[in-house]
Structure 1
Amino acid sequence: MIYIVIPVFNRKHYTRECLLSLRKGTNKDYKVIVVDDGSTDGTADMLRREFPEVEVLFGNGSLFWTASVNLGIRHALQAGAQYIMTLNNDLEVAPDFLENTYKFIPVKPSAVIGALELDALTREPAFGGEIIDFKRNKVRYLLQELPKDKQKGLHRVSQLPGRGLLIPRTVFETVGLFDQDNFPHYVADYDFTHTALRHGFELYCNYDAKLYTYPEESGERQNRKSKSVRNFYKHLFDIKGGGNLRDFTRFTLKNCPRPYIPYYLVNGYARRILGYVLK
């Protein structure tokens, strides 16, 4: 059984639709753990009333993404979970999502496997894994390189986000949980997958397991829509800032090969500062 950990804070309409999409799936062999970090919009009541099968853990509003996920993971591991999936609430899964997830577990039982993301509104593929080049500070987006007839099955990548991320128990036993001390909200998923890769675990994106996401609803996208000095500061320094310089620095020092760190940092700082203004 896959234990699915979903961190939430308000936005109960997204949580409802996410859980309904799982309920409609062709594979029912899963257990959902929702970590509600202090929601004030009635999320807890909705979960109790509409999804009694879901186990709910509670935070006080100070956990953010990483500590919330870790709370759910610890609980799942204590329950004996062999496979855990992290899933955000602002997405929906295709009916055969879990069926196609289970299909590849016997093929790569120790691998960390992500999912193909499609835009929920257009149903067009939006994200299919990344391959990072630290030396040149560039990221290759695999989806842009693969012809249509090759966009299926497993494809090797070098980093993955936490949306629909399947993680075997043995990975946690080897590398530990997500690094909530250094990366309380963003970047923890990329850091975790790099750490797993360094310890010999393969990373794949499963193009048969499809998620439907709402990219324009992310906090960072909303921040960019209304540009101001205040939002620029939040972009660079807020715990939920997509260009957070502290998180980027810590990620670089921890994961970038030492010879490339100076250039990677300088280039990355420029991208985050200028990118907010120009995009």
Structure 2
Amino acid sequence: MTRDRTAVLMTCHNRKPKTLSCLAALFNQILPREVKLDVYLVDDGSTDGTAQAVLQAYPHVKILPGNGNLYWNRGMRKAFAEAMKYDYDYYLWLNDDTLLYPDALSSLWQTYHHLTKQGHEKAIIVGSTHHPNTGKLTYGGFGRSTWWHPFKYSLVEPGTEPKPADTLNGNCVLIPRAVVQILGNLDPAFSHSIGDTDYGLRAQRQGCSVWVAPGYAGKCQTNPPQGHPWLDPKFTLKQRWQAVTDHKGLPPRESKVFCQRYAGWLWLFFWLLPYIRLVLVSLSYKIGLKQEKAEA
């Protein structure tokens, strides 16, 4: 009997407790007999002993070292590239802050096989996550929420049947070989959070599809839980600008590539819009504070 070989792709940086908890939940999966998991973990320059702890607890995990500057997209790209050498049947993206339920992976495979029977052989399956305390949907598939703005998306609530989506978060995603043969790896043009959205949009453009699996695959808090500093006018303009141009923010060069690909002839407008809005909101907030002081 042939076995469905699945490469689990992860990247981490100084989150040892979360990484170990994620792996513990992964290896607690209720799996069909024909499934074989190989884990590729990029340790991106962790200084908290993550790699050593993982090797001690799970010596079969393949650890790939990073230099500390890969971030999510390029870390996952490194893991993806290594796994692709062995031509797996499936590739699973898994964030190290995601705790899978025991039946999560079985649900993803069942969803894929269900869709292939309906003619969707080139389908990406997204596992949704919810907040461990509130139960609120945190990550999963995205659908377009407006016709005029190319980057306005809302999370697709999972139901009892697979639901189509336009793109995705990379927290828990099952990608079959048929899709990888078309799309290949994540794009190195992106360092952190734009890469997964780009992959989902590229999938749609190249004849593949994105689907949200029924139910929830696991638990995951929003990251960062306190929100993005560049959205908060209480920070100084300098602080907000540094945050938005950081790798984990909205780096202008990477955002430009993304907008040129997906915003059509208005790409320049949509590229500059968030940075202009940041400055205007900061100025408006300062003017409001001055008026309050004057009236006091």
Query: TM-score, normalization: structure 2?
Result: 0.80
Partner of 1:136: 149
Note the alpha carbon deviations across 1:45-91, whole angstroms, 9 max, x for none. Answer: 10111112222111122322222111211221212212101111112
Distance in structure 2 (CA, Å) of the matches to 1:278 and 1:88: 37
Distance in structure 2 (CA, Å) of the matches to 1:12 and 1:164: 19
The structure with more radius of gyration = 2
Unaligned runs of 5+ in 1: none
Note the alpha carbon deviations across 1:75-124, whole angstroms, 9 max, x for none. Answer: 21212212101111112111110110111222233211211120022233
Partner of 2:206: 199
Partner of 1:123: 135
SS in 2 for 1:215: coil
Partner of 2:118: none
CA contact (8 A) 2:142 2:153 kept: yes
Taking only aligned residues, the RMSD between alpha carbons, in angstroms, comes to 2.8
Partner of 2:289: none
SS in 1 for 2:112: coil
Distance in structure 2 (CA, Å) of the matches to 1:276 and 1:186: 24
1:186 to 193, 203, 206: 193
Note the alpha carbon deviations across 1:117-173, whole angstroms, 9 max, x for none. Answer: 200222333344222246234634254xx6xxx722311111101111211223232
Partner of 2:10: 6
Q: Are 1:168 and 2:181 counterparts?
A: no
Distance in structure 2 (CA, Å) of the matches to 1:18 and 1:277: 43
Q: Are 1:27 and 2:35 counterparts?
A: no
CA contact (8 A) 1:83 1:167 kept: yes
Distance in structure 2 (CA, Å) of the matches to 1:89 and 1:24: 15
CA contact (8 A) 1:175 1:195 kept: yes
Distance in structure 2 (CA, Å) of the matches to 1:70 and 1:219: 27
Unaligned runs of 5+ in 2: 116-120, 286-296
Note the alpha carbon deviations across 1:203-233, whole angstroms, 9 max, x for none. Answer: 1111334221121546964776883445312
Q: Are 1:261 and 2:267 counterparts?
A: yes
SS in 1 for 2:111: coil
Amino acid at match of 1:92: L
Distance in structure 2 (CA, Å) of the matches to 1:33 and 1:237: 30
Distance in structure 1 (CA, Å) of the matches to 2:108 and 2:86: 21
Distance in structure 2 (CA, Å) of the matches to 1:207 and 1:272: 37
CA contact (8 A) 1:37 1:62 kept: yes
Matches within 5 A, 1:1-279: 1-27=5-31, 29=35, 30-108=37-115, 109-132=121-144, 133=146, 135-137=148-150, 139-143=152-156, 151-180=159-188, 182-217=189-224, 221=228, 227-241=235-249, 243-256=250-263, 258-270=264-276
Amino acid at match of 1:123: G
**Relative to structure 1, is the Cα distance of residues 141 and 57 closer, same or farther in structure 2, using a 3 angstrom cutoff?**
same
Query: TM-score, normalization: structure 1?
Result: 0.85
CA contact (8 A) 2:94 2:172 kept: yes
SS in 2 for 1:191: helix
